[in-house]
Homo-oligomer: A and B are copies of this chain.
Amino acid sequence: MGALVEELSEHGYSGTSMERIATRAGVAKTTLYRRWGGVDQIVVELFTDATATAIPVPDTGSFEGDLRELTRSAVGLLLDPLARAIFDIVVGEAVHNPVARTALTQFFDRRVRGGAIVVERAVQRGEVPADTDPAEVIRQAGAPYFARIYVTGDPISLQDADRAASVTALAAREGLFPLQATSPAG
């Protein structure tokens, strides 16, 4: 898989063909097509592999401590050159490619599942209001370092993870992430 990432890094998403990947991997192109169907699917699998490493749900005893573990694990992932290269490709591609878009959404969904447990515990401890929206908490916690990388173009560090956790915990305690009323399920 490392060779495929090198291929993608060298030639970019649009310059990478199944043929080039097959040559580099030393297998027949038809073998790749049988397994993955296309470059999109390979990148999505790489991305999913790189980001699906079990994120242990933190349990530090405080909401802010738990959030800090979550943001530090995410920033740690983004500081890994291989994971970062895949993230860059997927984020750059997601603006016009639905397959990449779906991979990012699924990554986010996995993070929200862990976040929901953290929020639930914080509610039980009385740290945050009972109607706190876990998805909104995770969006807010992750937004600063992703925006640094992909919009303003700033470096990231664990300090950004810690500040994101502090800002999010403070805002959640103040009730700024209420669940929105949704229409009843059909």
Contact = CB atoms under 8 A, between A and B. Distances in A.
A96 B91 contact: no
Name the residue among A94, A95, A144, A167 with the largest chain B CB count within 10 angstroms.
Answer: A95
Contacts of A144: 139-140, 143
Contacts of A179: none
B151 A176 contact: no
A65 to B, nearest CB: 16
Interface string A86-127: 001101111110000100110010000000000000000000
A140 B171 CA distance: 13
A62 interface: no
Interface residues of A, number: 36
B92 A152 contact: no
A176 B88 CA distance: 29
B101 A96 contact: no
B150 A151 contact: yes
B139 A147 contact: yes
A61 to B, nearest CB: 22
A174 interface: yes
A134 interface: no
Given A92-B96, A139-B144, 4 more contacts: A95-B150, A143-B144, A143-B148, A143-B151
